């Protein structure tokens, strides 16, 4: 079973402008509501791919109920700890249609109480199965302990989950020492791990190889419109994305990791898995909202993804 954990989900309010200009009144062209939070995005994208998952997390107030409803309506099994004190955060996405620039303004989100944390940990202990997949992804800024994912892994250590880690900063640096199965840094996050600027392809591959000491089986570096570089065990692959009409880049990385999960769950070979992940994330870039994509469009893009060994 695939399980996702979202410690700080929210409601995304998306505002579309032709172009946003400073110090004047800007008129909204149109708007939309979506769900926020990396783990929730992974679960919903998996559902579109036809792969089930169980979503764990916190929710608060009316926003929290809405988050749970969106997940359930998307075909995701929802096991959340809910609190009536406070509100799950609101995020604001500004999409400029002329430039295709996407700007995210995010609230910090409510801090769970010790009792609420214990309740969620109990749900994880009782519901995550032996050797299940576990996705740890997204923001933990509402926690005083930025190493909270390590607490989760300690809690579930006896169940030996296959861990997919998508984090940044201290959370990522601490997490890689727990030997996750897969990490998915973007270029900036990999550069932070390497402690230097990464410019060339060789810079990137050298930085990936530096992570060998941590015993991570798959390092999948997302490069936005430039595709991805993936090291799977002892092989390195470069994936070049197809040309698409980019609309909204928010959530593409979450769709990429969902595609990798779908491939591993369905026993695709590694090249097929990478190709699939790049195709679905490219289709996501054409979507106006922060989660979801056109599956038929992703199928059309599959053959346009170029994969080569490095």
Percent of the chain with pLDDT over 90: 88
Q: Residue ranges of the alpha helices (H) in the chain?
A: 38-49, 61-73, 114-127, 148-155, 169-175, 187-194, 201-209, 252-265, 270-285, 295-302
The predicted structure's pLDDT at residue 138: 86
The predicted structure's pLDDT at residue 269: 95
State which fold the 2-309 domain adopts: 3.40.1190
Report the pLDDT averaged over residues 21-49.
Answer: 95
Query: Angle between the 252-265 and 270-285 helix axes, to the nearest 10 degrees?
Result: 150
Element (H, E) at 95: strand 89-96
The predicted structure's pLDDT at residue 100: 82
Interatomic CA distance for residues 103 and 54, integer angstroms: 29
**Residues 77-114: pLDDT tens digits?**
999 999 998 999 999 999 998 888 889 999 999 999 99
Pairing of β 235-240 and β 30-36: unpaired
**Residues 249-285: pLDDT tens digits?**
899 999 999 999 999 999 999 999 999 999 999 999 9
Q: What is the DSSP string of 67-80?
A: HHHHHHHTT-EEEE
Whole-model pTM over 0.85: yes
The predicted structure's pLDDT at residue 139: 83
Interatomic CA distance for residues 304 and 310, integer angstroms: 19
- Specify the 3-state DSSP secondary structure of 135: strand
The predicted structure's pLDDT at residue 99: 85
Pairing of β 162-166 and β 133-137: parallel
Report the pLDDT averaged over residues 189-215.
Answer: 95
Domain locations along the chain: 2-309
For 45-54, 65-74, 145-154, 203-212, which range has the lowest pLDDT when averaged over its residues? 145-154
Interatomic CA distance for residues 103 and 63, integer angstroms: 22
Going by C-alpha positions, the residue among 140, 152, 153 that lies closest to residue 38 is 140
Backbone φ and ψ of 73, nearest 5°: -65, -20
Do the Cβ atoms of 286 and 245 come closer than 8 Å? yes
**Residues 133-149: pLDDT tens digits?**
999 998 888 888 878 99
Burial of 251 (0-12, 13-18, 19+ CB in 10 A): buried
């Amino acid at each position: 079973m695939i399980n996702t954990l979202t410690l700080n989900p929210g409601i995304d309010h998306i505002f579309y402008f032709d172009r946003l200009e400073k110090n004047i009144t800007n008129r909204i062209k149109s708007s939309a509501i979506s769900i926020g939070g990396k783990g929730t995005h992974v679960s919903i994208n998996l559902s579109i791919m036809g792969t089930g998952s169980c979503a764990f997390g916190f929710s608060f107030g009316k926003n929290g109920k809405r988050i749970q409803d969106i997940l359930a309506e998307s075909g995701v099994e929802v096991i959340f700890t809910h609190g009536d004190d406070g509100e799950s955060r609101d995020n604001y996405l500004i999409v400029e249609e002329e430039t295709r620039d996407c700007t995210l303004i995010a609230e910090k989100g409510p801090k769970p109480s010790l009792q609420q944390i214990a309740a969620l940990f109990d749900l994880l202990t009782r519901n995550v199965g032996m050797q299940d997949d576990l996705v740890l992804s997204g923001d933990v800024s509402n926690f005083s302990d930025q190493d909270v994912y390590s607490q989760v892994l300690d809690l579930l250590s006896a169940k030996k989950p296959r861990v997919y880690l998508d984090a940044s900063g201290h959370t990522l640096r601490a997490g890689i020492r727990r030997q996750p199965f897969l990490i998915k840094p973007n270029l900036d996050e990999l550069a932070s791990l390497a402690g230097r600027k990464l410019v060339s392809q060789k810079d990137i591959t050298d930085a990936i190889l530096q992570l060998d000491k941590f015993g991570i089986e798959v390092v999948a570096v997302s490069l936005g419109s430039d595709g991805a570089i993936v090291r799977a065990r002892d092989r390195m692959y470069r994936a070049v994305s197809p040309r698409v009409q980019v609309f909204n880049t928010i959530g593409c990385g979450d769709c990429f990791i969902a595609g990798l999960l779908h491939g591993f769950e369905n026993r695709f070979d590694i090249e097929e898995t990478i190709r699939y992940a790049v195709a679905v994330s490219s289709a996501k870039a054409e979507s106006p909202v922060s989660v979801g994509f056109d599956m038929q469009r992703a199928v059309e893009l599959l053959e346009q993804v170029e994969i080569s060994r490095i």
